[in-house]
């Protein structure tokens, strides 16, 4: 099922870099307003167009999505996504032009009038104070009719805002925009706070300062308090019984250090490079979808934090901020990688690859371990009444539920090594294969001229009982040490990394860089940009401290003989609560 959370990165309209965005819809204020307390939100959304940057640490920002409303997000998304591919009124470059501000405010529509348009033959919805007619697209909506009809004649902003970039609506044709909602006709109690919204607001008001978090587990614990049930289920969920998810982290416990002593470790350097991109730490932000589920600044927060801390970031094709926003937030020379799944319509992928290259990204990451979404039961249960995408004959496929299913409808199941070769004819950017899970595929990638791979199992979110990436790295170092020490071929790793010692173990075994995904989402959730920076600062302090304790001063000093594999069970971890 298509979602604008995905489609805005792939549509020709949104990929027009540097284009102006839609009045208040284009501002980050719109994002910020969605997280304000409910009554404040309603006033700001309908009465204010002033630009206002979201406060990354504000206690007033509240996650507004409940289970019932978040279930509907992909429904509206699928309908609006369709517009992006249609031949509307175009500018001289052939791209859909924005709806003008005067057109946006062409007439006032009463709330009662909107409510009359609630049948399959006549469907209107309200988004950010504007009224849209989506009738024509019900029958082709890949998620079926029911999710849309639950919002027919109602305000869909709560559903729409957390998973869509502010300029998503710029791709709608003018005739779909009916007018603006008449604020005077809004019924009392329309924006009353729900129980979950109250819980989230109070939790956010009680948050400590970022410096109170001493490790990444502290930040995750805080994130569980300020994320909606649906959002946390999506972020934390993994495949089937989640054995691989747990094993990713547990694998690091099987490797113990062999420190060197009596070395001068007054000055240590954590600087390195990955695929020619300089970085202040051997870690990078793994591409992760829908950062705005946690905070209105979304991926923009992460871009700004990564730029200021000097590390590399991967941008997900399913990002909830637009490429325009991401590029605008990027510091001069800041390295960014773009992650892609191949579209069933290869022309869409081709266009996207060209646009990414034009935008100045440094590399492309092709994810190869998730041609279909894993069976993420936590995600599915949290969105229990979500409907499966419709099949080609309009009937339900059955069983497909959850956020992951909602944003993956465009992905092609048929992706082969020949497609990797095809990508190399489209873009000059280096291609990194993410999701390699055995030594044989590392060898094949190297033989086909790929310059870098990421050992990964999608954070345990795909195939349960897939091997932990660290175990694959260990096997690779045993069987093909030439591939972990090849200056023209890089091996990276992600999954289960929560400590600086985890990073150092991976580097000892030959990894060039180490990716973290969920920790950055959790940091963004709790404190926005400052939370992401806190994650990086904690990792920096742990890496530097443990390098000194290992007796090394630069990353090149980390060698395989500085770790050993431990076959016996380690001492059990005592149960203890976080100090946060």
Regarding beta strands 563-565 and 255-257, do their DSSP bridges make them parallel or antiparallel, or are they unpaired?
antiparallel
Q: Which of 502, 519, 520 has its CA nearest to residue 511?
A: 502
**DSSP H helices in 163-290:** 195-205, 216-226, 229-236, 243-250
DSSP 132: E
- The secondary structure element, H or E, covering residue 529 is helix 529-550
State how far the Cα of 312 lies from the Cα of 432, in Å rounded to an integer: 14
DSSP H helix total and E strand total for the chain: 26, 17
State how far the Cα of 229 lies from the Cα of 381, in Å rounded to an integer: 10
Q: Which of 287, 230, 263 has its CA nearest to residue 73?
A: 230
For 66-98, letters b (16+ CB in 10 Å) and e give bbbbbbbbbbbbbbbbbbbbeebeeeeeebbbb
Sign of CA dihedral 167, 168, 171, 176: negative
Residues involved in catalysis: 341, 369, 458
State how far the Cα of 532 lies from the Cα of 524, in Å rounded to an integer: 5
State how far the Cα of 255 lies from the Cα of 468, in Å rounded to an integer: 13
Q: Quote the longest CA-to-CA distance of the chain.
A: 79
Regarding beta strands 312-315 and 283-285, do their DSSP bridges make them parallel or antiparallel, or are they unpaired?
parallel
Q: Crossing angle, helix 346-358 and helix 417-426, to 10 degrees? A: 40
> Reduced to 3 states, what is the DSSP secondary structure of residue 165?
coil
Going by C-beta distance under 8 Å and a sequence separation of 6 or more, which residues neighbour residue 445? Answer: 433, 436, 453
Q: What is the secondary structure of 343-373 as a DSSP string?
A: BSSHHHHHHHHHHHHHTT-SEEEEE-S-SS-
Cα separations in angstroms, 83 against 79, 350, 387? 7, 20, 21
Q: What is the dihedral of CA 311, 516, 504, 363, to 10 degrees?
A: -50
390 neighbors 397 (Cβ within 8 angstroms): yes
The radius of gyration of the chain's CA atoms, rounded to the nearest angstrom, is 24
144 neighbors 177 (Cβ within 8 angstroms): no
State how far the Cα of 234 lies from the Cα of 244, in Å rounded to an integer: 17
Burial class (CB in 10 A: 0-12, 13-18, 19+), 455: buried
């Amino acid at each position: 099922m298509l979602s604008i959370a995905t489609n805005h990165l792939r549509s020709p309209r949104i990929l027009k870099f540097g284009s102006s965005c839609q009045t208040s819809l284009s501002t980050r204020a719109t994002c910020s307003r969605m997280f304000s307390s409910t009554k404040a939100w309603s006033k700001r959304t309908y009465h204010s167009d002033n630009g206002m940057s979201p406060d990354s640490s504000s206690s007033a920002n509240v996650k507004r999505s409940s289970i019932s409303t978040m279930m509907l997000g992909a429904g509206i998304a699928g309908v609006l996504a369709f517009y992006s591919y249609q031949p509307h009124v175009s500018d001289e470059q052939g791209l859909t032009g924005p709806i003008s501000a005067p057109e946006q405010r062409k007439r006032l529509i009463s709330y009662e009038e909107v409510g009359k348009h609630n049948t399959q033959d006549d469907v209107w919805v309200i988004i950010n104070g504007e009224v849209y007619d989506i009738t024509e697209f019900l029958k082709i909506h890949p998620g079926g009719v029911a999710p849309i009809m639950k919002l027919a004649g109602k305000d869909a902003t709560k559903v729409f805002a957390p998973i869509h970039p502010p300029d998503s609506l710029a791709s709608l044709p003018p005739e779909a925009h009916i007018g603006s909602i008449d604020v005077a006709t809004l019924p009392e109690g329309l924006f009353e706070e729900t129980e979950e919204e109250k819980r989230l607001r109070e939790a956010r008001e009680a948050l400590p300062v970022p410096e109170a978090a001493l490790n990444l587990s502290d930040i995750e614990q805080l994130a569980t308090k300020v994320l909606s049930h649906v959002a946390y289920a999506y972020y934390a969920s993994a495949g089937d019984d989640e054995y691989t998810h747990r094993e990713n982290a547990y694998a690091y416990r099987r490797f113990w250090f062999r420190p060197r002593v009596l070395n001068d470790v007054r000055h240590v350097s954590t600087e390195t490079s990955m695929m020619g991109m300089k970085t202040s730490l051997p870690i990078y932000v793994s591409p992760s979808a829908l950062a705005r589920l946690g905070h209105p600044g979304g991926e923009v927060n992460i871009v700004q934090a990564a730029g200021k801390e000097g590390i590399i970031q991967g941008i997900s094709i399913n990002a909830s901020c637009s490429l325009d926003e991401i590029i605008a937030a990027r510091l001069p020379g800041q390295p960014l990688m773009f992650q892609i799944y191949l579209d069933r319509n290869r022309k869409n992928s081709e266009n996207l690859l060209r646009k990414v290259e034009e935008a100045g990204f440094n590399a492309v990451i092709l994810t190869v371990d998730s041609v279909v979404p894993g069976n993420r039961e936590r995600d599915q249960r949290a969105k229990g009444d979500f409907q499966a995408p419709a099949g080609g004959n309009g009937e339900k496929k059955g069983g497909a539920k959850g956020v992951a299913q909602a944003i993956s409808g465009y992905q092609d199941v048929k992706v082969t090594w020949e497609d990797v070769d095809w990508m190399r004819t489209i873009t000059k950017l280096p291609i990194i294969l993410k999701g390699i899970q055995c030594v044989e595929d590392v060898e094949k990638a190297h033989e086909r001229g790929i310059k870098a791979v990421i050992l990964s199992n999608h954070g345990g979110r795909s195939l349960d009982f897939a091997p932990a990436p660290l175990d694959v790295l260990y096997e690779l170092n045993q069987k093909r040490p030439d591939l972990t020490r090849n200056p023209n071929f890089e091996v990276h790793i992600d999954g289960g990394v929560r400590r600086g010692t985890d990073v150092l173990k991976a580097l000892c075994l030959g990894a060039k860089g180490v990716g973290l995904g969920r920790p950055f989402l959790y940091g963004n959730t709790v404190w926005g940009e400052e939370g992401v920076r806190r994650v990086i600062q904690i990792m920096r302090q742990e890496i530097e401290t443990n390098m000194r304790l290992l007796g090394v001063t630069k990353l090149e000093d980390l060698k395989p003989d500085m770790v050993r594999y431990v076959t016996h069970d380690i001492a059990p971890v005592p149960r203890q609560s976080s100090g946060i």
